[in-house]
Amino acid sequence: MYDVIIAGGGPSGSIAAERAAKSGLDVLVLERSRYPRDKPCGGGLSQKALDVIGGIDKELIERELFCARIFTSDYQSFTGILDDRIAVTTTRRNLDHWLINRAEDSGAVVHDGEAVKDINFGKDYVEVATPKNSYRSRIVIGSDGVNSTVAKKSGIRTRWGDGIGLCREAEVELGKTLIDSCVGSDVAEFYFVETWGYGWVFPKRDHISIGVGGWSKRAPNLKALFGRFVKDVSLQKKIDLESKITQVNSHLIPAGGFDRKIHSDRVLLAGDAAGFVDPFLGEGLYYALKSGEIAAEVAINAVELGDFSERSLHEYVVRCEKEFNYNLKSALKFANFAYDHLGVVLRVLQKDERVFLEYLRTVRGDMTYTDFNRWCLLRSPVTFAKLML
C-alpha cells in the first residue's frame, strides 16, 4: 500500500509528489498521458510561481518578462515596465517533464500512460483503479486537471457550476528576430478588445503563444473570436500569422467561485481540479503549485496522525484559504468589476501609471489582490466611488 496516490502529473501533482516523497512517504503518481506531453497554456510563469518551485533550469526559461503591453478595443496600446522580473515564459511540455523528473528523483514512483478510472473507499484505504491495475493508498490527491476524475468519483463535484471559462491557443513559430521586432524580447501583450476576457501574445524563444480566453457565458463562440483575433493581430503586426498556425487547442479553465468543496474523507483536490485559477488573468500555475505543496504537507501530517477523515483534512481548506484563496476571492471581485467597466478600468491603467505598475507587482507576487483593491480605493476614493456607481 502507498501512503499517497497522486492522480495527474501536471504542475500541482508533480510538486505534491516531490514534496511528499522528500519527506519519506511512499508516493505513486498516475498520469494519463505519456511524458513529455503538451498542455494548452500560454506558459507564463509568474515570479511567485517560480518562488514556489524554488528556481528552475535556465534552459526552461524562454523569455524573462519585465513589461506588459495593454491594447484597448481600438488597438491603442500602453506599456508598463518594472525593474524586477514579473514572470518568465516556458513551454509546458518541457516544464512539466522537468517537474515530474524532479519528483521521480525525490523518490516518487511515476506511472505515465495510466489514467485513473475509478476510486473506491475501504475502511482503511482508498483503491484507485486504472485500465492496467488497481492500487491502494491511505490518501489520494486529485491533481488531474479541470475535468478531474477524482472529483467526480469521490463525489466531491460532479459538474462545474458557473465559474468556468474557455481558452483557445496556438503556438506560432516566428523566429527570434521577428519576435523581438514585432512583440519585444521581454514584454507580454494583453488585448482587451472585447468584453468577454482578453487575447494574449506571449513571446517564447523562437515562437509565440497567441490565444483568447474568457468566461464561457460571455464568449459564446470562441472559435470565431480566435479567428478574428489572429486576423487583427496579423494586420496590426503586418505578419500573416494565420498561415503559420498548424494546430489550435481549446481547453476549459476554472475561473471563479472559490467556495467550492475541495476535499472529503481521504481525498484532497489541487490545482485546476480544485478550481484554483485567477479569474481576471487566467493564471493557474502559481495556484496549482501552491495548492500541490499544501496538499503534500497536509497529507504528510495526516499520515503522521493516522487520521484521514474529512474533519481532520479540513486543515487543507484552512491552509488554502489563508495562503491564497482569500486572495482569489478578491481577484474575482476585481475581475467582475473590471470586465463590467472595462473601458473605464483601462483608462485608469493608461492615465495613472502607478495603478498599472502596482497591478504588475500584484501579478509578480509582491502584493495580493486584496491589498491591490484596497490600495486602489485609498488612492482615489472619489474616482473609484464614481466608478462603482
Ligand X SMILES: Cc1cc2nc3c(=O)[nH]c(=O)nc-3n(C[C@H](O)[C@H](O)[C@H](O)COP(=O)(O)OP(=O)(O)OC[C@H]3O[C@@H](n4cnc5c(N)ncnc54)[C@H](O)[C@@H]3O)c2cc1C
Beta carbon nearer to ligand X, 196 or 348: 196
Minimum CB–partner distance for residue 79 and ligand X (Å):
19
Element (H, E) at 293: helix 285-305
**Angle at alpha carbon of residue 75, lines to 70 and 78, rounded to 5°:** 35
Closest CB to ligand X among residues 150, 346: 150
Q: Which is nearer to ligand X, 211 or 279 (CB)?
A: 211
- For the bound state, the minimum distance from the C-beta of residue 354 to ligand X, rounded and expressed in Å, comes to 25
Q: Is residue 197 within the footprint of ligand X (CB under 6 A)?
A: no
Cell 507564463 maps to which residue? 44
* Segment interacting with ligand X, rule: CB under 6 A, options 20-28, 40-48, 62-70, 335-343: 40-48
Beta bridge partners of 111: 30
| ∠ CA 283-89-350, rounded to 5° | 65
Number of residues counted as binding ligand X (CB under 6 A): 37
Please count the helices (runs of H) and the strands (runs of E) in the chain: 13, 18
Q: Smallest distance from the beta carbon of 347 to ligand X, in angstroms?
A: 26
CB of 282 to ligand X, least distance (A): 5
40 scored as a contact of ligand X (CB under 6 A): yes
Q: Residue 244: which of 254, 229, 234, 232 has the closest Cα?
A: 234
Q: Per rule CB under 6 A, is residue 17 in the interface with ligand X?
A: no
According to DSSP, the residues that pair with 89 across neighbouring strands are 44, 63
Q: In what order do the strands lie in the sheet with 44-46?
A: 44-46, 87-89, 63-65
**Candidate residues 4, 7, 16, 303; the one interacting with ligand X per rule CB under 6 A:** 7
Please report whether residue 271 would count as binding ligand X according to CB under 6 A: yes
Pick one of 21, 119, 288, 342: the residue that binds ligand X (CB under 6 A). 288
Cβ proximity of 143 and 6 under 8 Å = yes
Among 18, 62, 104, 144, binds ligand X (CB under 6 A): 144
Sequence-ordered strand ranges (E) for 19-133: 27-31, 44-46, 63-65, 67-71, 77-81, 87-89, 109-112, 118-121, 126-129
AA identity, residue 376: C
Judged by CB under 6 A, the stretch of 64-72, 74-82, 131-139, 281-289 that binds ligand X is 281-289
Name which of 8 and 80 has its Cβ closer to ligand X: 8
Question: What is the helix (H) or strand (E) element at residue 250, kind and residue range?
Answer: strand 248-254
Spell out, one character per residue from 95 to 134, where the chain touches ligand X: x when CB under 6 A holds, - when not: --------------------xx------------------
The site for ligand X (CB under 6 A) is made up of: 7-13, 30-33, 39-44, 115-116, 143-145, 149, 167, 169, 211, 251, 253, 271-273, 277, 282-285, 288
